[in-house]
Each structure stands twice: as structure tokens, then as C-alpha cells.
Amino acid sequence: MKKYIGVDLGGTNIRAAIVQEDGQILSMKKSESHPDRGAEAVMETMISLIESLEGFEECEGIGMGIPGPIDTINGKIIVSTNLPKLIGFPIAEYIENHFHKPTYMDNDVKVAALGEAVLGGGKGYPIVYYVTISTGIGGALVIDKKVISGQNGHAGEIGNICIDRNRKKYNILNVGAVENEASGTAVTRKGKEVFGEDKIRHAGDVFDLARSGDEKALKIVDDMAYDLAMMFSAIAHVIDPHVFVVGGGVMKGKDVFFDKMEKYYRDMIHAGMQSVVFKQAELEEPGIVGAAMLPMTHA
């Protein structure tokens, strides 16, 4: 069975793993990334980490998942708040020249989407749209096991989809951007506004109150469900996927909001689009597995 190397490069840590084509992680190691030291120092740390994995020489290729918009053609970071000294550096070329293995990179959400499409909740479906709902909201389109990155690497930045232009503006995103209205951060903010700073630490506290029947918490959750339905509807009317695969930390509250969201969604779409299914993300390590799938699916 073929094996590949998957790398998760972040502002704090680098993780590298050897992954079989069936998704089994054979070994994984982690090291601090120290991006303040510069691009070549980070590359050398990554190289050492990969070379510490037993059997790395036998792997067919290398894939990397990195936060932010990625130039997948030239293997460079376009924009990054966590890795500013690596912007524009030829990361994929540097690693490929060292290991002499085909090397690819893409946004971390997109590689997670690829992992779920190939081996997780979207396995077996031709058109998969992956959505992660956590601190923010991200997404990615996978068609026939190929991630669609777009001209500028921004494809799937669904958190900026406007679901109501009459809301307040909070940051650089659009007024009424779904990320500012239905993410974990948004639910926490709304919970604090209603229940106070001391009572709400995170979105889970709002979900717990909703489970207990608190009417104000139920209203926050209902609004969240409707706003997410608006987002899914906007995606569906452009993409018409076979399946939506949904992951992220907010899915721990799935029992509170997901059925409501799907009902609202199905009322918003055309009758001929009702065959789409919603599935929960399945992989424990979608980022690492998906990164390893980049060279496999480019073959």
C-alpha cells in the first residue's frame, strides 16, 4: 500500500506524519515552528521533522496544509498573520528540491476537506462541500477528489458570505457576514450580551442553556440555525453538491441546532435540490490525512 507524508504547518507547531493511502496514520511527530526565525529556519525544522519519521524515504510524495490563502501553483503563502516571514517564500519547491519527491501545499481547511472527501464523510460522493464551524467558519469544494482553490487561493472563504446586511459591523468581514453571526465566536458574543460575561465562557454554555429550555438561549440557537441555513443555501445554489460534510468544534452542539438548520435550509432551496445530504465529518486528523492526500490525488 502506498504511503505519503502529510505536514501541518502552523504558527506554533509543525506536525508531520506518514499516512497510508487508506488514511491510516503510521507515525506522527511534532516540533515548534518558531516562524519568527525566518522561512529557511522553518524549512529546516520541517525537513528534520520529516527525516525523523521512520520510513520517510519510501513515501511517494509530500503534502502540506497551511493557514491562509495559498498560491497552489507556485507553492507559496499569499497572506498570513501567523507566518508573515514565510509569505512569498517557495515552500513547496524548497521541500521538493531536498527530498526529490512531488510536493504540494494548500490551505489547511482545504486539505481537511480533501481528507473528508476522499476518506471521511464525503467518501464516494463526486461533489463534496466541506464546512467547518468553529471559532470562525470556513469551507472548501472538492470535485472528483480535487480541491478547488480558485484563481487567488480564496475559494471557499464562505465566512464572508453576507446573510443579512442590516446587522452590525464587527471586523474586516462584510456587515452581516455569517462568521460574525453564526460561528462559535458569534454564539459566545451573543450569549455574553444576553446572560453576562461571567455566565458564558464559550458557545457550549449557550447550548447547555438551550438544552435546559432557556428561551433566550433557544432564540440565539434558532437565529444561528437560520443564519447557517442561509449560508448553506447560498453555497448550494452555486455548487449544487451531492453532500455537505460539516465539522469543527461547534458540532459538539449538533443536537441543539443542526436539525433546525437543515429544516430551514430545505425550505430555502429548490425542490429539485432536495437530494443533497448532510454528513458529519468523520476523520480524527483531517488536516494531516488530507495533506497527505494532496500528492496522491495529483498523481
The pLDDT confidence band at residue 136, using thresholds 50, 70 and 90, is very high
Which H/E stretch holds residue 18? strand 13-20
Sorted by where each begins, the domain ranges of the chain are: 3-108+285-298, 121-280
Q: Cell numbers 464551524 label which residue?
A: 133
Contacts 24+ apart (CB under 8 A), 264-273: 264/225, 264/226, 264/229, 265/228, 265/229, 265/232, 265/233, 265/236, 267/229, 268/229, 268/230, 268/233, 269/233, 269/236, 269/237, 273/236, 273/237, 273/240
Give the chain's radius of gyration (CA, Å).
20
Q: Do domains 3-108+285-298 and 121-280 have the same CATH topology?
A: yes
CATH class of 3-108+285-298: alpha beta
For Cα atoms 111, 184, 110, give the angle at the middle one, nearest 5 degrees.
10
Q: Which of 236, 298, 290 is nearest to 261 (CA)?
A: 236
Spatial separation of the C-alpha atoms in residues 71 and 210, rounded to whole Å = 42
Retrieve residue 263's grid coordinates. 429544516
pLDDT of residue 185: 96
**What CATH architecture applies to the domain 121-280?**
2-Layer Sandwich (3.30)
Give the model confidence (pLDDT) of 87-112 as tens digits: 999 999 999 999 999 999 999 999 99
Spatial separation of the C-alpha atoms in residues 78 and 88, rounded to whole Å = 6
The pLDDT confidence band at residue 299, using thresholds 50, 70 and 90, is low
The dihedral sign for the CA sequence 159, 160, 166, 168: positive
Give the model confidence (pLDDT) of 153-209 as tens digits: 889 989 999 999 999 999 989 999 999 999 999 999 999 999 999 999 999 999 999
3-state class (DSSP) for residue 242: coil
Give the model confidence (pLDDT) of 15-71 as tens digits: 999 999 999 999 999 999 999 999 999 999 999 999 999 999 999 999 999 998 899
The pLDDT confidence band at residue 140, using thresholds 50, 70 and 90, is very high
Spatial separation of the C-alpha atoms in residues 95 and 72, rounded to whole Å = 14
In this structure, are residues 3 and 60 in contact, taking their beta carbons and an 8 Å threshold?
yes
